[in-house]
A and B are shown apart, each in its own frame.
Chain A
């Protein structure tokens, strides 16, 4: 518990190396997109970060269900870790999107449903953190966190997928596109390779961070219980 597991160290190294390789691939291996040019390269990390963020929120909802069934605090450590990391990656997703949108859509931000729901999703999880910070008792905090993670995931991320009801300007590279979308393109084989590699690299980085954050949660709890023991 106190000792850092060797597997985690290995995962650290793998995460760093694969992230460097992904960056190198994006810059030197992936071809330039004919119309959009260099800015299109944002796509590889934009989608990867969005994927990891969504995965993270899904994980938070799943461990929320597990917590409510088992009442084991270890699931709560996973839940809060997943939400925090998910917020970070969703923010990366939104910011890289804005960087791409500036030259392509000629604006940093537009009130497109897809952009708006992604941002509201971010707010759901900010609310999650605020809810937790308002409750001292760990067991109740875990219960409320679990409930809110479930409700939150049912709400906005699902809307995000049902977004095809709206007409959107956001391109869909995988699957069918809205005719109103701007900045769409077809991936060449090289692009697909780089894209898939960055998905894998981001996922490895994600699990590495998650592990660290869960460990941090456990250590923080240990510090807390030791402190109580000293006071007693």
Chain B
């Protein structure tokens, strides 16, 4: 640990705390996973996923599933901090608050990736499509990053409001639209075997929003948690 700066150490401590708490309870991950599975199964009935129809909408189904499951995790991740007074403890710690934000966001990112790692092959098996393309995996990585970056910030606002349980999706979904749309388009492009020239604009848009959301959330998190 001695080679690390204090900032990274604080961030690592927050991530480690979240991972250990999750490892002991397994509440969030199991809820996210079961929920994701349910969403996929419901989509099967709702959209009647025939092989010819499926090809065009797999990307959409996948991202709606990830986004919904992600909201569940984000809400929970901030709610436990608020309920048990952990947030106050974290804020009292003499570390940069941006480190706390990055730690929480990174833990959420790992949870979302874990869900994606299980959902992707499962979706592939259930619907007989190959989901494990390198390009697609990068898109999942980037899409989850952008979604979680803005989601962690908004979740920390939502838990402090009176209507917190219903507020997060309402705050997050319209704002996350650029990330979700570009991720869906890029994923669909990889699944349909588009050329890189066609996928590239969406890919770029995704990267741009990752950068925007992460850096803005990083800058304003301080004013969200100050008392």
Which residues does A use to contact B, with CB under 8 Å? 68, 117, 120-121, 123-124, 127, 130-131, 133-136, 140, 143-144, 146-148, 150-152, 154-156, 158-159, 162, 165
CA distance A7 to B202 in the complex (A): 49
Q: Which residues of B contact A159 (CB under 8 A)?
A: 177-178, 181
Question: Quick one: which of B160, B202, B220 has the most chain A CB within 10 A?
Answer: B220
6 A–B contacts from the bound complex (CB under 8 Å): A130-B163, A134-B164, A151-B150, A155-B178, A159-B178, A165-B205
> How far apart are the CA atoms of A14 and B138 in the complex, in Å?
56
| Chain B stretch 180-227: residues in CB contact (< 8 A) with chain A | 181, 201-202, 205, 209, 212-213, 216-217, 220, 223-224, 226
Contact residues in A for B85 (Cβ distance below 8 Å)? none
Contacts from B to A (Cβ < 8 Å): 150, 153-154, 157-158, 160-164, 167, 170-171, 174-178, 181, 201-202, 205, 209, 212-213, 216-217, 220, 223-224, 226
Chain B hits for A143, CB < 8 A: 223-224, 226
**Are A156 and B162 interface neighbours, CB within 8 A?**
no
Shortest CB distance A160–B (Å): 10
- Contacts of A121 on B, CB cut-off 8 Å? 174
Q: Given the interface contacts A131-B161, A150-B216, A151-B216, does A162 sit within 8 Å of B175 by beta carbon?
A: no
Known: A127-B170, A130-B167, A155-B177. 15 other contacts (CB 8 A): A68-B223, A117-B177, A127-B174, A130-B163, A130-B171, A133-B163, A134-B163, A143-B226, A144-B224, A146-B223, A148-B171, A151-B150, A151-B175, A151-B216, A156-B175
Query: Measured between C-beta atoms, what is the minimum distance from A87 to chain B in Å?
Result: 13
Given the contacts A130-B163, A134-B167, A147-B224, A152 and B205 also touching, CB distance less than 8 Å: no
Assess A127 versus B220: contact at CB under 8 Å? Given A120-B177, A165-B201.
Answer: no
Complex A-B, nearest 8 residue pairs according to Cβ-Cβ distance, in ascending order: A134-B161, A134-B163, A124-B174, A123-B174, A155-B175, A134-B162, A159-B178, A127-B170
B157 in complex: contacting residue of A147, A154, A156, CB < 8 Å: A147
A162 contact from B205, B223, B224, Cβ within 8 A: B205
- List residues of chain A with CB within 8 A of the CB of B171: 127, 130-131, 148
Which B residue sits closest to A144, measured CB to CB? B157
Q: A154-B216, A165-B205 are in contact. Are A147 and B174 (CB under 8 A)?
A: no
Q: Are A147 and B175 in contact (CB under 8 A)?
A: no
- Known contacts being A155-B174, A165-B205, is A147 close to B162, with CB within 8 Å? no
A172-B150 Cα distance, complex, nearest whole Å:
32
Interface hub of B161, B167, B170, B176 (most chain A Cβ within 10 A): B161
A159 CB, nearest partner CB in chain B, Å: 5
Bound Cα distance from A120 to B158, whole angstroms = 20
- Among A123, A147, A155, point to the contact of B223 (Cβ < 8 A): A147
Cα separation A120 to B180 with both chains bound (whole Å)? 13
